[in-house]
Amino acid sequence: MKAGLAHFYGWSDDYIDSLPVDVALDYWHSITAIEARQALVQANLIMMPHVDGKERERYHKELEKLANPVRKSQGKKLTNKELMEILSRR
């Protein structure tokens, strides 16, 4: 996880070590959401005309789930605003 945070956000090991564990985990989970949202855009542009309906739906549903994580403590999807707040806590 530490290497992933350093690579994605460009942070030093010392900075990552200074983060509270719950904040570090929020940032870590945000990477998945950001990458999944980017993949949704790419998938719609590239794949969709060439894939049958069921496979397209399955793939899209999985990416939607990754792109819109659920805050486990509240059982609801993170809004874009909540995701931005997590990402802005530096």
Q: What is the mean pLDDT of residues 6-19?
A: 91
Predicted confidence band of residue 61 (pLDDT cuts 50, 70, 90)? confident
Proportion of the chain above pLDDT 90, given as a percent: 12
Region 57-61 average pLDDT: 81
Identity of residue 67: A
Q: Which residues contact 12 (CB under 8 A, 6 or more apart)?
A: 6
Helix (H, G, I), strand (E, B) or coil at 80: helix
Give the percent of the chain with pLDDT over 70.
Answer: 83
β-partners of residue 77 are 70
Give residue limits of the domains in the chain: 2-88
3-state secondary structure 4-67: HHHHHHCCCHHHHHHCCHHHHHHHHHHHHHHHHHHHHHHHHHHCHHHCCHHHHHHHHHHHHHHH
* Better-predicted residue by pLDDT, 80 or 9: 9
Calculate mean pLDDT across residues 21-38. Answer: 86
